[in-house]
């Protein structure tokens, strides 16, 4: 609501973030510790994210399924790295009705176990491959510190799980899906994310390797926003996912998984929003245009309706705010809720044959002749806004991207401002942990196919193997 | 798959049902007791159900949210009838990570508790009302006997939860939503369901009353498929959902909830399917047309592609089966999967300038001239099939609907065939329980606005209050 005060982003970023979440009615805390309620404004963004990603997944041949929420302990234990990675943070069901269970069940923190178990009992022949399954569902991780969208005990996500006859196919799938996440961030969310390989320390428990999509927030902190894992035959050997090949030999499948979550909503906020509230790129905004009639003259309302219909008939999501609030209140409400374009139509405007259009991202006002082709004008303006928001985020990312040749460089950067720090690395866990001592810096990703900066590890000075992006994380 | 044998429906209905579920790849058993995996063919039906219902809900002003999966025990206990109704069948989380929880949490069996708790802390003024929230999610009930789709420990559903300033509005909502479910069954699923009021014995725990949508399966057994509950102020008083009225008095809201689940997929199967597998009404079929080229002549493939494109461009979901199986195998596969129309295109057909179209429900073959307006022809045929399937289900329902004046009548009917039994009832629990002694008959619903049959209770002969439909249930 317009009367909820939002802390300035530059004064207290963390408080600003939760203020925006609350003021824009995206989510609310609940009586369940660490779990949020996703409210209509927030859920509508998730629905649009789902629709766009789901369409893309299906175009690439994936199909949706739904596997059980609960995982028997013995099944989970079959893959040792997975259970070690997740056991500290799962919730356990120990009672069903009034009875203690013989075997406890965990609420899925991720579903490699269930998919592997399913595949193991259903795949027989090379003709059954590949299987390209995805599911949209809730998962639960027993986090200690939580924040709306960014980290909560329960969250919503999609998890793709695929199995393939060959290593090449599975690796191509792993790569393809991180590219989908990157495309989604760049083209839809207007977030210029970067992608690369996780170090062994940061990869998914049980994966041979993890590709990651990393976004940089306005304050310079990174957000992991989509990962794609290549498992090789690790799970297929642990769970026995075998098939008969063309020449009738018994083979293990190659496997991948990939996921994105409701935390992308948090990323959207932290990249684009401002002190007036939510700012949404037009392509992800559930409502793109609000028309606010000033006064209740019939002519004004008629024009509002006419424009509203025209826009909606041409795939622009528009609505008229006809509530009994004052125009000023409605303006503020449209602002805090991040509606990309605000159309103001008043009696005086009509006399001048003009309406006012205000962009949410720049607050820029445009006076538009009434007899303009309003659909084309609006579509163009929405696309301009989408591009400008991407460009602004890219400029910010570039401002907050640094290079470091040695630890003194790193410290000097971090004394001023966190961000993406490019630095060479020898590949040793020891040096990775040394970096963490500098205000918690972690490797975000290894950049692929990029030249080393100095050829020497930023920590130990020994020959470097990789150019790594380091940063703080949510 | 075509080679999976399906038991005859008339020989063993229960076995036939699970055979169809398995053969059409709708769902599969899993390593988690009482929980199924919903497979691509089954999940695609659920997605289409969701899309159609969600659109309707939104047209009626509802918005989607997502509330937590886990409910703290003290919250659940606030409404005594609810907790008594559900406590025997919930799963309890007692450990988070490696720690025993101070308060155990149940996995939602339904979310009246969470919605009431949310509403209580967020609603302030009459201006906030009504709130028309819905969520699509999973719920869990610790059932002892389970069956794919019909009864499983975890299932997917939507649950609407609304609050209103007045009794009239809340009752109108309750009524409206059962009408939506009825519309969905009649118009989309081609299932001629009946609606009415549940008796006090059969109503939802905590509701003032429950309206129900009841479908009759091919074997005469009833399936409750959608309920809508009116809570009055029961929950609002238990959870403290208060608001300031226009004249600034403190008032409690009036509340409703309503839900439908993945069990509707079970209903679809048991109403329409046959010994060859799944039969789907065209409006709910995820894929409506399969085109099977016979042979690999270029001309045949070209025509298949041309028709396929035309159909898909005109909102008919069509695909070409170009796999390397034999035509006969493809025919059988399309049949078991319930694709409404099968187009066969062979070289000889081309010479005769004709293609063959086969209806899944009747196996009727139509020869169609190649230069027919294929889009219009297909649309008409799909609509005819939809109507015919409804009519066939209605005829079956009428054949299995009986009237009884006394217990002898009831026994005579039940000795032959279960179904919907219409009989007058005095309103006493005692007589309701007496009916249950006859092969487990339960009241399905009280028919509204219908004349009594005899004016006397079918059990005790005392003056009757209601005309009730009795039946067996899944």
Average the pLDDT over A383-412 and give the result. 98
- Cα dist from B343 to A401, A407, B370, whole Å: 58, 70, 12
Among A72, A122, A138, whose Cβ lies nearest the Cβ of B69?
A: A138
How many pairs of residues across A and B have Cβ atoms under 8 Å apart? 149
Q: Does A140 touch chain B (CB under 8 A)?
A: yes
Please answer yes or no on whether A39 and B65 come within 8 Å at the CB atom: yes
d(CA B110, nearest CA chain A) in Å:
15
d(CA A240, nearest CA chain B) in Å:
14
Please answer yes or no on whether A35 and B156 come within 8 Å at the CB atom: no
Contact (CB, 8 A) for B97 and A89: yes
In what side-by-side order are the strands of the sheet with A420-425? A63-64, A131-140, A154-164, A254-261, A222-232, A209-216, A194-197, A442-446, A466-471, A420-425, A401-403
Please answer yes or no on whether B43 and A64 come within 8 Å at the CB atom: yes
Among B46, B47, B122, whose Cβ lies nearest the Cβ of A28?
A: B122
Contact (CB, 8 A) for A228 and A182: no
Q: Does A452 touch chain B (CB under 8 A)?
A: no
Cα B411 from chain centroid?
Answer: 30
d(CA B262, nearest CA chain A) in Å:
11
pLDDT at position A1 is: 40
List per-residue pLDDT tens for chain B, 474 residues long.
444 689 999 999 999 999 999 999 999 999 999 999 999 999 999 999 999 999 999 999 999 999 999 999 999 998 888 888 888 899 999 999 889 999 999 999 999 999 999 999 999 999 999 999 999 999 999 998 999 999 999 999 999 999 999 999 999 999 999 999 999 999 999 999 999 999 999 999 999 999 999 999 999 999 999 999 999 999 999 999 999 999 999 999 999 999 999 999 999 999 999 999 999 999 999 999 999 999 878 999 999 999 999 999 999 999 999 888 899 999 999 999 999 999 999 988 888 889 999 999 999 999 999 888 999 999 999 999 999 999 999 999 999 999 999 999 999 999 999 999 999 999 999 999 999 999 999 999 999 888 999 999 999 999 999 999 999 999
CATH number 3.40.50.300 is the correct assignment for the domain at A402-471: no
Average the pLDDT over A94-116 and give the result. 95
CATH level 3 topology of B13-272: BirA Bifunctional Protein; domain 2 (3.30.930)
Residue of B nearest to A39 (CA): B65
Residue of B nearest to A26 (CA): B65
Residues of B in contact with A47 (CB under 8 A): 64
For the stretch A412-460, pLDDT in tens is 999 999 999 999 999 999 999 999 999 999 999 999 888 999 999 999 9
- Cα dist from A121 to A69, A117, A243, B29, B325, whole Å: 18, 7, 10, 10, 24
d(CA A166, nearest CA chain B) in Å:
20
Residues of A in contact with B70 (CB under 8 A): 32, 35, 91, 140, 154
ipTM of predicted assembly, 2 dp: 0.96
d(CA A261, nearest CA chain B) in Å:
14
Residues of A in contact with B37 (CB under 8 A): 65-68, 114, 118
Among B40, B64, B68, whose Cβ lies nearest the Cβ of A47?
A: B64
pLDDT at position B4 is: 66
- Phi, psi angles (nearest 5°) of residue A213: -115, 120
* CA atoms of A69 and A67, how far apart (whole Å): 7
Please answer yes or no on whether B91 and A93 come within 8 Å at the CB atom: yes
Q: Does B40 touch chain A (CB under 8 A)?
A: yes
pLDDT at position A2 is: 43
CB-CB neighbours of A399 under 10 Å:
12
Please answer yes or no on whether A31 and B75 come within 8 Å at the CB atom: yes
Q: Does B35 touch chain A (CB under 8 A)?
A: yes
Contact (CB, 8 A) for A215 and A267: yes
The 8-class DSSP code of residue A314 comes to T
Q: Does A317 touch chain B (CB under 8 A)?
A: no
* CA atoms of A184 and A188, how far apart (whole Å): 5
d(CA B70, nearest CA chain A) in Å:
7
Among B36, B97, B105, whose Cβ lies nearest the Cβ of A89?
A: B97
Please answer yes or no on whether B138 and A137 come within 8 Å at the CB atom: yes
Residue of A nearest to B155 (CA): A68
Q: What is the dihedral of CA A102, A107, A109, A115, to 10 degrees?
A: 70
Question: For chain A, what is the mean pLDDT?
Answer: 96
d(CA A121, nearest CA chain B) in Å:
9
CATH superfamily of the A13-66+116-272 domain: Bira Bifunctional Protein; Domain 2 (3.30.930.10)
CB-CB neighbours of A53 under 10 Å:
21
- Cα dist from B161 to A85, A286, B120, B184, B228, whole Å: 38, 22, 13, 19, 10
| Surface of A (48-77) touching B: CB under 8 A | 63-72, 75
Q: Does A407 touch chain B (CB under 8 A)?
A: no
pLDDT at position A81 is: 85
Residues of B in contact with A98 (CB under 8 A): 87-88
Q: Does A137 touch chain B (CB under 8 A)?
A: yes
Please answer yes or no on whether A32 and B70 come within 8 Å at the CB atom: yes
Contact (CB, 8 A) for B235 and B206: yes
Average the pLDDT over A190-201 and give the result. 98
| Terminal alpha carbon distance of chain B | 27
Residue of B nearest to A74 (CA): B31
The domain segmentation of chain A, as residue ranges, is 13-66+116-272, 289-381, 402-471
Q: Does A125 touch chain B (CB under 8 A)?
A: no
pLDDT at position A4 is: 66
CATH number 3.30.110.30 is the correct assignment for the domain at B401-471: yes
Please answer yes or no on whether B68 and A107 come within 8 Å at the CB atom: no
Among A43, A133, A140, whose Cβ lies nearest the Cβ of B66?
A: A43
d(CA B37, nearest CA chain A) in Å:
5
Q: Which residues of B103-139 are buried (b: 16+ CB within 10 A; e: fewer)?
A: ebbbbbbbbbbbbbbbbbeebeebeebbbbbbbbbbb
pLDDT at position B1 is: 40
What percent of chain A is predicted at pLDDT more than 90?
91
Please answer yes or no on whether B67 and A154 come within 8 Å at the CB atom: no
CATH level 3 topology of B289-381: Rossmann fold (3.40.50)
Phi-psi region at A220: left, alpha or beta (left = phi > 0; alpha = psi -120 to 50): left
């Amino acid at each position: 609501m317009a009367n909820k005060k939002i802390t300035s982003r530059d004064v207290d970023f963390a408080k600003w973030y939760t203020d925006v979440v609350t003021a824009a009615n995206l989510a609310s805390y609940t009586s369940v510790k660490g779990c949020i309620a996703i409210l209509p404004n927030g859920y509508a963004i998730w629905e649009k994210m789902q629709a766009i990603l789901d369409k893309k997944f299906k175009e690439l041949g994936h199909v949706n399924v739904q596997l059980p929420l609960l995982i028997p302990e013995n099944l989970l234990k079959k893959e040792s790295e997975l259970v070690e990675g997740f056991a500290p943070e799962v919730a356990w069901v120990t009672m069903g009705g009034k009875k203690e269970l013989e075997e406890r069940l965990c609420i899925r923190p991720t579903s490699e176990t269930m998919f592997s178990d399913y595949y193991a009992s259903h795949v027989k022949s090379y003709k059954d491959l590949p299987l390209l399954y995805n599911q949209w569902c809730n998962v639960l991780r027993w986090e200690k510190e939580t924040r709306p969208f960014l980290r909560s005990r329960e969250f919503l996500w999609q998890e793709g799980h695929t199995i393939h006859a060959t290593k090449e196919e599975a690796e191509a799938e792993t790569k393809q899906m991180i590219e989908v996440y990157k495309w989604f961030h760049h083209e839809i969310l207007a977030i210029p994310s970067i992608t690369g390989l996780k170090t062994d320390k940061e990869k998914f428990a049980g994966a041979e390797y993890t590709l990651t999509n990393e976004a940089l927030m306005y304050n310079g902190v990174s957000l992991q926003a989509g990962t794609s894992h290549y498992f090789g035959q690790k799970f297929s050997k642990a769970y026995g996912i075998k098939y008969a090949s063309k020449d009738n030999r018994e083979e293990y499948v190659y496997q991948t998984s990939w996921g994105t979550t409701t935390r992308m909503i948090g990323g959207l906020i932290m990249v684009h929003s401002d002190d007036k509230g939510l700012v949404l790129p037009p392509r992800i905004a559930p409502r793109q245009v609000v028309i606010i009639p000033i006064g209740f003259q019939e002519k004004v309302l008629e024009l509002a309706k006419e424009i509203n219909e025209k826009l909606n008939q041409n795939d622009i999501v528009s609505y008229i705010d006809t509530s009994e609030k004052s125009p000023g209140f409605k303006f503020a409400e449209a602002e805090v809720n991040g509606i990309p374009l605000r159309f103001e139509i008043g009696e005086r405007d009509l006399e001048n044959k003009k309406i006012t259009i205000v962009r949410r991202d720049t607050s820029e006002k445009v006076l538009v002749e009434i007899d303009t082709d309003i659909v084309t004008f609006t579509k163009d303006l929405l696309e301009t806004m989408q591009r400008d928001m991407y460009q602004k985020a890219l400029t910010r990312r570039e401002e907050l991207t640094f290079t470091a040749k040695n630890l003194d460089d790193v410290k000097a950067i971090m004394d001023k401002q966190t961000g993406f720090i490019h630095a060479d690395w020898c590949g040793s866990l020891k040096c990775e942990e040394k970096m963490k001592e500098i205000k918690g810096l972690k490797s975000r990703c290894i950049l692929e196919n990029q030249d080393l900066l100095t050829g020497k590890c930023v920590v130990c000075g020994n020959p470097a193997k990789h150019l790594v992006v380091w940063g703080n994380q949510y």
